[in-house]
Amino acid sequence: MSDDVKCIIGLEIHAQMKTNSKIFCGCPVDNNAAPNTNVCETCLGYPGSKPRLNRKVFENGVKIAKALNCEVPKNVFFSRKSYFYPDMTKNFQITQYEIPVGLNGFLKIKWRGEELKIRIRRAHLEEDPGKLVHVGGDITTSKYTLVDYNRAGTPLIEIVTDPDFTHPEQVRDFLNKLRAILEHLNIYDSDMIMKADANISVKGGERVEVKNITGFASIIKALEYEYNRQRIMAKQGLFIKQQETRAYSEQTKTTKPLRVKESEADYGYIFEPDLSWQRMDDARLKSIYSRMNELPDERVERFTKEYKLSEDSATVLVYTDKALADFYEACAKTFKDYELLYNWLSTHLLKCLNYNNVSISKSKVSPELFLEFMKEIKSGCLSERLAKELVKELASTGKPIKQIMKSKNIKEFSDKDLMPIIKKIIEKNEKAVADYRMGNNNSINFLIGQVLRETNFQAGVENIRELIEKVIK
């Protein structure tokens, strides 16, 4: 993508929050339950039913606000957003509008070697409506529509940024960081839903809002498409003259115009009278903050100190997937060659899992199994070529390494096994031995190669080197 035309992007991100029960009632949250089984008077919006605030969900909102460097107002309110739609039987959604849980924060990202500060305008909590199921088609083509209220009352966090992004790539880095923060706070799993509305404009044109883009990858694709569309138009002197709302299509990977809906003012917000405001005094904030998990940036810093990893390596572990960093730490408890562990985990095992399209948390390889493999590597008895084959097998079968080696007829070469081979090679190659003794260090590599060949490339190079040096010195 050429970067010659500057663009401005602002985001509204909605993420599902990990929780056992809904935000305003005690109904369980379970995506696999039969339709309309996890419901009660409150989430069905019966007249006279009253919401009760789920304290844990609320505190998670405060933790998110803190992690995004937001101010938490002294009194936090909930509001009613009025609208009529079959997925919301009360005819209003409980959300936060005037005084949300977080205000005026920021998140720093690194982009092309530069540090950027993306301002967070607000973070607020709200309930998800029910789910409409358009049977046999979409909203315009289906014969009839079913409503499942299991989802009604599931907590969402909405995060609104200022228009501080100047390139779609920055959005990717920002979302990646946000995802890692929510994962570390134990509020979000990577298989949960993240949606976004994005405002995007290029210099000289009005802004276009792309609504309701679902999923991490689609958000980036939609913005790249829209940036390119406006950029090409701008180059031809065509600018967006009027603010426009568009939708992103997963099928065509393009955006198309959408009917313009109500503006925020049309919703007639009022404070929710059935929920008391939340007083956020210092003692309460302190208590919530003291129960916060370690955040990703703190973890990166700890990894550089505790495991002596470079900042880049620590960043790969923490920001690729929280589960990868957890896996690394589980192994590092007993395996103390931290660099070697990092290399085999983040390069070789991860490559195999990616190839099989499996995430580390869903893979068959447990830290215990991987540790057994790492012990084989560390013993020096395996050649690198063989170890790479074995890690492939480990990733796809999840079998203990000893079992894999046995099934492949792989012999482990102990010093006792190697010695006769080394002696034979040394006898056969007097010239290389003499060269080495004369100070030609390259000739030992030739000898190692010969021994490796004899072991069918199954013995470890470092082990062979040590033994050869012992014999000919």
Residues forming the site for Zn ion (CB under 5 A): 25, 27, 40, 42-43
CA distance 275 to 127: 14
CA distance 173 to 219: 12
State whether residue 347 is helix, strand or coil: helix
Q: What's the Cα-to-Cα distance from 189 to each of 5, 173, 181, 183, rounded to whole Å?
A: 36, 18, 11, 6
Residue from 197, 201, 259, 198 nearest 233 by CA: 201
128 or 393: whose CB is closer to Zn ion?
A: 128
274 or 329: whose CB is closer to Zn ion?
A: 274
Residue from 385, 389, 391 nearest 345 by CA: 391
Give me the least distance between CB of 43 and Zn ion, in Å please: 3
Residue from 335, 332, 360 nearest 348 by CA: 360
43 or 70: whose CB is closer to Zn ion?
A: 43
41 or 294: whose CB is closer to Zn ion?
A: 41
DSSP letter for 21, please.
B
- b vs e for 46-61, b when ≥16 Cβ sit within 10 Å of the residue's Cβ? eeeeebebbeebbbbb
CA distance 426 to 14: 68
Give me the least distance between CB of 17 and Zn ion, in Å please: 16
DSSP letter for 437, please.
H
40 or 275: whose CB is closer to Zn ion?
A: 40
91 or 249: whose CB is closer to Zn ion?
A: 91
- Cβ neighbours, 10 Å, residue 151: 21
Task: Give ∠ CA 7-10-13 in degrees, rounded to 5.
Answer: 140
CA distance 144 to 46: 24
Give me the least distance between CB of 50 and Zn ion, in Å please: 12
25 or 159: whose CB is closer to Zn ion?
A: 25
Give me the least distance between CB of 268 and Zn ion, in Å please: 25
57 or 67: whose CB is closer to Zn ion?
A: 57
Give me the least distance between CB of 294 and Zn ion, in Å please: 33
25 or 461: whose CB is closer to Zn ion?
A: 25
State whether residue 73 is helix, strand or coil: coil
CB within 8 Å of 384: residues ≥ 6 apart: 461
H-state helical runs in 291-414: 296-306, 311-320, 322-332, 338-342, 350-355, 367-379, 384-397, 401-407
23 or 196: whose CB is closer to Zn ion?
A: 23
Amino acid at 375: K
The token pair at 62 is: 């405060």
CA distance 391 to 70: 44
CA distance 223 to 228: 8
24 or 174: whose CB is closer to Zn ion?
A: 24
46 or 355: whose CB is closer to Zn ion?
A: 46
CA distance 235 to 213: 27
